[in-house]
Amino acid sequence: MSAVAMGEFPPYKPPVPRFDDGIFVSVDSRHHDGADDEGQLNTLNTVARQQGWRNGVSAAYDRELLHYVDNPDRLIFLSLLPLNPGDAILEIGPGLGQISIPLSRRVATVDALEVVRGQAQFCAERSRQEDARNIRITAGGDNCELPYADASFNGVILNLVLEWCGWRAGGSHDDMHRKLLAEVSRVLKPGGFFYLATKNRFSLRLLTGGRDEHMFQMRFGSALPRWLSRMMLRGRRASGHLHSYRELRGLLRSKGFDRIDSYWATPEMRWPTHMLQFEADDFARERRKVSQGENPRTSAIAAVLPAFMIKHVAPGLAFLARKRAATIR
């Protein structure tokens, strides 16, 4: 795969997004920040410009969120990725730039596509303050389409975003997830990598009655049979949608990915301290050396389960896959 020059960004597909207030805005960017979020985002960006991005996060949210977006310990998965200095990388859903900016120091260019325009503006301001000149911020992706040309990127990162990506789109969650994964395959170069991390539908937390933040805090939530959860939602649209290990692996294969490795991010996806490969010969031994779950209850259950079951009930699912030369649409 060819390298790109520092700052030489991959092309957009027509129509090209317009440049507005420091970011590019895709034609599909119709999402407006909700009334509850608008004040926070205004505070975030105003304080960030005047007093620095860290003060902006603290003023708009709290110190805990600042710790979340400014903690290198959360980035251990980057060591798994086959990154090269000449790579062009796409991150979908950069949030407040917690991955895009550290990533930009390892590769030639980073494109960051953010559906919330206020967060995209903050990412641009944070990038400017950290002198990360090889990042291009685009607001868009509302309809799960990517505004980039075919075969543009050496790698794509989708970290804890897939579960939410159908929320603002018009179709069903399943349809939007399939659409987004097909789009990821389209913009990747043959042989390019795709890192996908998401929460697990059948995590031990949900299987044992935990509340599901994707389904109005319903107990068991996504772990319930689909028909039963739809009946219990009484016509309300869930904000998120989770997949099982088998289902997500099958989706990746159906969209043109192979050489799929899967990882256990323990003790949980947002704050992993270890990334253990399920397919590794020493997984059964190495799993005994790390935390077994998110809380004492799930840890106790996981500790007595055979190693082959862990991938099915882990808190989250992390896959590193490669795009095949001939993809399936």
- Using one digit for the tens of pLDDT, what is the confidence trace for 219-264? 999 999 999 999 999 989 999 999 999 999 999 999 999 999 999 9
Give residue 153's pLDDT.
98
Between CA 174 and CA 230 the distance in angstroms is: 14
Give residue 71's pLDDT.
86
**Distances 164 to 103, 177, 241 between C-alpha atoms, Å:** 22, 9, 7
Tokens of 193: 């990598």
Number of domains in the chain: 1
Do the domain assignments include residue 279? no
User: 155 near 322, Cβ under 8 Å?
Assistant: no
- pLDDT band at residue 209 under the 50/70/90 scheme: very high
**pLDDT exceeds cutoff 70 at 106:** yes
Do the domain assignments include residue 255? no
Q: What is the mean pLDDT of residues 272-281?
A: 93
Do the domain assignments include residue 5? yes
Tokens of 187: 């913009």
- Using one digit for the tens of pLDDT, what is the confidence trace for 148-180? 999 999 999 999 999 998 887 778 999 999 999
Do the domain assignments include residue 261? no
Instruction: Please state the φ and ψ torsions of residue 233, each to the nearest 5 degrees.
Output: -75, -20
Do the domain assignments include residue 234? no
Count of CB atoms situated within 10 Å of the CB of 247: 15
Do the domain assignments include residue 47? yes
Between CA 247 and CA 163 the distance in angstroms is: 13
Give residue 81's pLDDT.
98
Give residue 4's pLDDT.
54
Between CA 306 and CA 288 the distance in angstroms is: 11
**159: domain range?**
1-199
CATH number at residue 38: 3.40.50.150
User: 84 near 111, Cβ under 8 Å?
Assistant: no
Do the domain assignments include residue 131? yes
